[in-house]
Every structure is written in structure tokens, then in C-alpha cells.
Chain A
Amino acid sequence: MSIPHAEQSTAGSIMKMVRANGGLVALVVILAFNVIFTPNFLQLQTLFVNISQVATIAIVAMGMTLVIATGGIDLSVGAVMALAGALAPLIFQSQFGIDYPALGVATAIVIPMLVALACGLFNGLMVAKLHVQPIIATLILFISGRGVAQVLTNGNLQTFNNPAFSYLGTGKILGLPFQGWLTVVIAVILFFVISRTIFGRYVLAIGGNERAAQLAGGPVLRVKVGVYVICGGLAGLAGLIVVAINSASDAARNGNLMELDAIAAAVVGGALLQGGRAPIFGAILGAVIIQLVKYTLLANGVADEVALIAKAAIILIAVYMQQARKE
């Protein structure tokens, strides 16, 4: 709560500032480390690689942030990515997609997105209507979603050459990757939704005290379903981007462990698991930190397995700082 006088010294206020802006401080530290130790870090190519990689984590993390803000969690995002990603090539490589290329690509985006939204709707109804605990409710699609994706593709890797579709993951606007811009646009929209609209206010109110929100006339059911639908939709979009980047769809690997990255990014960004807070730009910051740590370790020849440990350490520190801030 309050801090006694003695601690409000310079050291104390620096500590306080570090805690309040822990994410930014971490970012600066990682950047500084890379500038010094990682060869060729200050190259445009490095920036492009990282932006194109971070976009998918950030997009999913923003959806996750909304869900977490209502006090929920969505474990199915990785599976939804796989499902959406598996559907797209099936559609534009079908006879219909080959006969009508433009329409084929359009449908290959629209249909998987609708399926992803439907997945979100399913999660939302399970949680808000049937009152299943979010972790259990979303476990259903976590398990079955990827299974369906693998059945649809017979477990095969689907490779393709479709420049129009690949624009999602490889296109550039003003020299920067398309999905980076997309991330920024989504973030701005969501930030506006959270801070300026009635829907956003209800999201935070429900996460803060659901019973109070309901008794004050808040449409709890609709808002909760809404956040899961948005989260599902964003996961679907991320799944399409991953497929577009690789020009291949692998239902077994697309979005694998993404739920953990997304939750980690949201938490690092300042989301509270008990709900009531939705730091959209924080989620992007969290995603950037996680991506940079991965990149740093990879670029310096550290094994992937070790990177996982590093990720765990970041989450630990983030949670610790959140706890400290609550005191």
C-alpha cells in the first residue's frame, strides 16, 4: 500500500519506476545485449525477420488479453490456428480455387476466418452460457481442433505456391512486412474498443466484479461470448499468416504452444489473470520481448530447449513484478 518515508529515496524511486515499466526496461536490456553481442543485429533484415515473426504472437496475445480481462483464458488459440491454416490451402488448391483463382483466395481467407470465429463462439457459449470453467471449456478445442486439422489434411504437409495468398505473410507496405502493419491496425482498433466503447467498459467491469457488472445491467453473456469470438478470430488470422509465411501448412506444428506464448505475452504486458485489465499495447510489448528472447538465443547459437527455459524465466519475473506492484 503505502511506502514509509525512509524508502522514498532515489534508489527507491528508481526501483518503483523499474517496476511500473518493467516491460520497457526488459526490452531495453535485451536490445542493448543484442547490439553488443549478436552479430549483424543492427541490420534491416533482422528487423524484418523479427517483425514478421512477432506479428502472429502479438495478434493472438491481443485476443488473449481481452479474454483474460474478463477473468477467462483461452487454451484453444494454437489449435484454432492449425485449423484455419489447414483449411486455407485445401480451399485455394481445390478445383474451385484453381478455376477461379481470385475468388479462391478470397474464400480461402473468409471460410477459415468464419470457422475460427465459430470456434470462439463455441468457447464463449461454453463459458458464458453453460458456465464451464474457461480452462476446461477451451481445453475441448485445444485437443480436438488440431485433431480435426490433421484429419482434414491426412496429417500431410501441404505445400503451395500462391503469391496472392502468401502476401498475408510476405507482403510489404512502405518496406515493412504486411503483418506488422496489420498488427498495428488491430491494436489501434482494440485499444479504441477497450478505452472508448461500452463493450470495452463492460469487459473490464466483468473482469473486475462480474456480479456487480450484471446487477448494474451489464450484458455479461454477450460480452463474454464477444471476447472469445474476437480471440478465436484473431487466432484464425494468425494461423493464416503463419501458413502464408511458410508457403506450407503443417497442421501438427502450426500454432504449436502458441497458447503459452500468448498467455505469457499478455501477462508480461501487464494483464492480470483474475481479470479487470486489458493492456493491448502491453500485449504487443510482451510479444516483442518473447520474440526477441527467442531470437537472441537462436542467433547466439543456444539450443531451442534452452530458449524454453528462458521464456519460463521471463514469465516468472513478470508475475513477480505484478505481485510486487499489488503490494
Chain B
Amino acid sequence: MALLLEMNAIQKSFGGVPALSGASIEIAQGEVHALIGQNGAGKSTMIKVLTGVYTRDGGTIQFNGAQSLLNSPREAQAAGIATIYQELNLVPLRSVTENVIMGYEPKRFGAFINWREAHRRTRAILDRFGIDIDVRMPLGSYSTAIQQLVAIARAVSLDAKLVIMDEPTSSLDASEVKTLFGVVRGLRDAGVSVLYVSHFLDELFEICDRVTTMRDGETVDVATLSKTTKLDLIAGMLGRDTREIAQAGRTEFGGGSAKEGEVLMTATDVATGPRLSKFDMTLHKGEVVGLGGLLGAGRTEAARALFGVDAISRGHVTLKGATAPCKPAEAIAAGLGYLTEDRKAEGIIPDMSVRENMTLALLPKMTKRGQIDRAAERKIVQHYIDALGIKTANMEQPIRELSGGNQQKVLLARWLAIEPEILILDEPTRGVDVGAKREIQLIIREYVDRGFGVVLISSEFEELVEGADRIVVLNEGRCIAELKNPGITEDKLVQALAHIEKVTA
């Protein structure tokens, strides 16, 4: 197999702190190669070196048979390296065609765009990927998945030899993931290499050929996926022994132990819009109720309905017997907390300090006549930094400088600090490295054991199955089943989901 890319002994440090110290990766022609590692392992730095965003301090890059400098994104693009970012860099308000041919428009008389030819060419490009959409419509009118595929199509039409995909499936649902995988296989068959970065290990076994594992800025392992196991990969990322992990169990949850306490919250026949049409749930004291389902099943919408973010158009939500509040501020005052799914868009306030981020929901309670009690504030913040083991230089450090896992802990502390009776957690461990994940799961467990209630949303079935006392299964905005621990297995959850798939299909 001919090598397309060879990055060797790459060095990069920021202000004296090494981010990469002798990292290397090799990708063969027409190979789908996975890159994994905990947050801070150096994956993104490696990609940024490869795409010319960062200039490396040392090491060599061979691309397509020649020594490459790759000192600017432009140079990398010209060499045939295309990157599909999580946040797409396309123009949502312009048509699909314009996005695909941007910069390479077919001209008429040297000045006017030949639209007929442009649309034809775009359709031809998209056809290769089995995407059949109206190319005249604004790109933004299509789902994220389609937009992502359009970005890939554009990259390939520009003769990309290597396509880098950074967490491509994080916002796709199951069927969209299937389409994406089809496209990735198509790329492989056409001889294009793919560098695939993902937190979802299961995906790698489905789509990738080989995997490079990074830890602390170094490459620690290269393996063929058909000859390795998930446990081995986790052990490699953590730098721990596989047996040790197997014994400890892969999550820190231990659901199913709860005795049913009094009812904290109920939702009866709740609808808020097209994405949530029939939601029923009961939450008792000392209980974790999981919301299961695929992406787009209405889990986040259910959480928003419970927290009073979205207005309820039908049905009834009660909180300790009374009608639940319909505004976030009132919900908080009534003892609810809601850890949102999208940390960046709905969670952190990037330029504010750890202290200010943590006490945001608590503000009304630590204020006397409009004035913030700063001594009390510092005391509370220090308490949670210690209790949750948040790694921060000090409480005045801007939260954007923290790693994803520590940001998530700060946000968790924001809600724990108001001492809510009910916590709604939407993907509490997504995008968080394995170590922080276990810690966050422990914190949640301790909180539940104190007699409070948790509504847990997680795309990781393992986390849900092990963590929840009961799982309410949603599909297309409707509750379709309720499973009870002990006795829930991943298989049973998948079966519950699969069952309705068959019925509706």
C-alpha cells in the first residue's frame, strides 16, 4: 500500500508548553484512518499542523511522495488536503450550487456565471454521493447532515487527496450517519484517504481501517481495527492496563438501586411542537430517569419543555404537585437545574471567569439589595473547584482557557451550587475525555444518592443503561416504551428502538 501522508517526529509547543512532542502518523492511499486520544492528547494540534494553521517547530511531513512545508492553510489546500470542520465553513444563505462551485464558477463571456452549467456540474458532483436535492435552494434550508455532505462533495470535486473529518457524526442521527459512512466508503474506493477523528469508538470499527492513538502529545499506538478491541483502544488513550479497566466497569454509574421515593415531577401528554408531540414521564426522589432515543427523537426538546424553555402547546407538567413554571428563571427558583447539550452555544460564557460562570444561576440567591456578596461567592466557587477537582489556575481564569472536561465540570457546578431538587442533564459527558467522564458520572451518582432526582439524556447507550433507574424511550417526539432497571441491557434498549422502527417503516 502506497503511503500518502507521513508525519514524523512532529514538535509543537505553545509558550514553552509542548503540545506535540515527537508525534507521528502514517496514512496510506485510499485508507480511512482514525485518530483518537483524550482531550489534550494533541489531536487537534496535529490536524492544525497538517492543515497549515499552525507552523510546526520540528519534524517532517511527506505528502504525496514529496517533502511538504505546509506552512499555510492555502498551501495545504493546494496540495489536496481538505478539512470538514464541525462548524461548517459554508455560506448557509446562498444556494447549494454557489457553495459547491464557489471560486471555480463556470463562466460565460469571461464575466458572467453560466448558471445552467453550474447547476449541472453541482448535480453531477452530488450524484456521486447519492445526494438528491434541489441545488437552487439555500444551503441553510437543509439539515446539518446534508450540509456536511455538500462540504465533502465540494472538497472532493476540488481533487482532494486527503479529507480530514473532525467529529463528523456528532450532530447526525443514525440514518444520516449511515449516509455519511456510505460517502466515506465511496471516497475510499475512489482512492481518496480519510483522516477520521471521533470520540465514538464504535464508529471506528465500522468505518476505519487503522487507528493511531495519541496521548500527551505523542503517538502511543498504531493498530489495525479488525485486530483490536474497544477495551484496547480505551486502555491506550488512558495509558492504563486493560484488565484494570475491565474490572472497574466502564462507567461509574450504578443504576437500579433506587427505592421509589415521592414524586418530584411528572409530564403528561406533553407537546411543544413538531419535534415533541407526546411525552410522558414521572420522576421520583432519589431516581435517575433516562431519556433514550436516537438523535432527533425529541430528548432535548423534552428537557426544554421540563425546564420551561419552550412553551407547552398541549399536556401538563407538574413539579411537586403544582403546575411547573414556564420560564427558566422561575424553574431555577423552583429548584430545577438544566445542563444543556451544547456547551459552547448554551453553556459557557467564554470570556467570563470560572467564578462568574459558576455562580451565574446562583446570583439571585447571593445578592443583597442587588449587590453581589463577593466573599460568599468566592467561598462557594472554591468549594466546588475542590469538590469536583476542577483543574484551573485560579478562579479568575477565563473559562475558555479550560479543557472541555473542566468546562463541563464548571457548568455542572453552576447547577449543583443552586442545590436543585431536580437536575436535567443533557449529554453531560459528551466531548469530555475518559477520565473526566468517570468523575462526572460519580458526581451525578453522589447527587442522586442524596435523594434528589435526575433526568439524564445520553447518546451513549452504555451510560444510559448503567446509570438510569428507568429509561423512557422516545422516537420521533413520542414516548414509545419505558424500561426499568435492574434488567435493562443495551440490547434491550436497542430492541425497544428497533421495534418501533419496524412498525413505522
Contact = CB atoms under 8 A, between A and B. Distances in A.
Contact of A215 (B14, B309, B374): B309
Contacts of B364: 198, 217
B79 to A, nearest CB: 25
Interface residues of A, number: 26
A2 B14 CA distance: 6
Contacts of A94: none
B361 A217 contact: yes
Interface string B320-336: 00000000110111000
For A197, A204, A217, which residue has the most chain B Cβ atoms within 10 angstroms? A217
B15 interface: yes
A214 interface: yes
A211 B344 CA distance: 10
B420 to A, nearest CB: 11
B350 A208 contact: yes
Contacts of B361: 216-217
B352 A208 contact: yes
Contact of B349 (A2, A5, A276): A276
A215 B372 contact: no
A218 interface: yes
A196 B360 contact: no
- The residue in B332, B333, B351, B370 that gathers the most chain A C-beta atoms within 10 A of its C-beta is B351
Interface in A176-225: 196-199, 201-202, 204-205, 208-209, 211-219
Contacts of A3: 15
A277 interface: yes
The residue among B348, B360, B372 with the most chain A CB atoms within 10 A of its own CB is B360
A217 B332 contact: yes
A216 B351 contact: no
A201 B363 contact: yes
A215 B351 contact: no
A77 B152 CA distance: 48
Contact of A4 (B15, B347, B352): B15
Nearest to A4: B15
B345 interface: yes
Contacts of B340: 212, 215
Given A4-B15, A216-B328, A211 B352 contact: no
Contacts, number: 82
B247 interface: no
A1 interface: yes
B371 interface: yes
Contacts of A217: 328-329, 331-333, 360-361, 363-364
A88 B486 CA distance: 77
Interface string B336-368: 001010000111111110001000110110010
B210 interface: no
A168 B17 CA distance: 57
Contacts of A204: 349, 352, 356
A226 B309 CA distance: 23
Contact of B367 (A1, A198, A277): A198
Contacts of B372: 196-198, 201
Interface string B205-232: 0000000000000000000000000000
Given A4-B15, A198-B364, A217-B332, A211 B345 contact: yes
B356 A205 contact: yes
A247 B318 CA distance: 64
A215 B349 contact: no
A218 to B, nearest CB: 7
Contacts of A205: 349, 352, 356, 360
B374 A208 contact: no
Nearest to B333: A217
Contacts of B356: 201, 204-205
Contacts of B345: 209, 211-212
A217 B350 CA distance: 17
B280 to A, nearest CB: 24
Contacts of A209: 345-346, 348-350
Interface string B6-23: 000000001111000000
A196 B349 contact: no
A1 B14 contact: yes
Contacts of A218: 329, 360
A2 B15 contact: yes
Interface in B359-395: 360-361, 363-364, 367, 370-372, 374
Contacts of B14: 1-2
Interface of B: 14-17, 307, 309, 328-329, 331-333, 338, 340, 345-352, 356, 360-361, 363-364, 367, 370-372, 374, 414
Given A204-B349, A217-B328, A218-B360, 11 more contacts: A4-B15, A198-B364, A198-B371, A202-B363, A205-B360, A208-B351, A211-B345, A212-B340, A212-B360, A214-B328, A276-B349
17 contacts: A4-B15, A5-B16, A198-B372, A201-B356, A201-B363, A208-B349, A208-B352, A209-B348, A213-B349, A215-B307, A215-B309, A215-B346, A216-B328, A217-B331, A217-B333, A218-B360, A219-B329
Closest 7 CB pairs of A and B: A2-B15, A208-B349, A2-B14, A217-B329, A217-B332, A216-B360, A216-B361
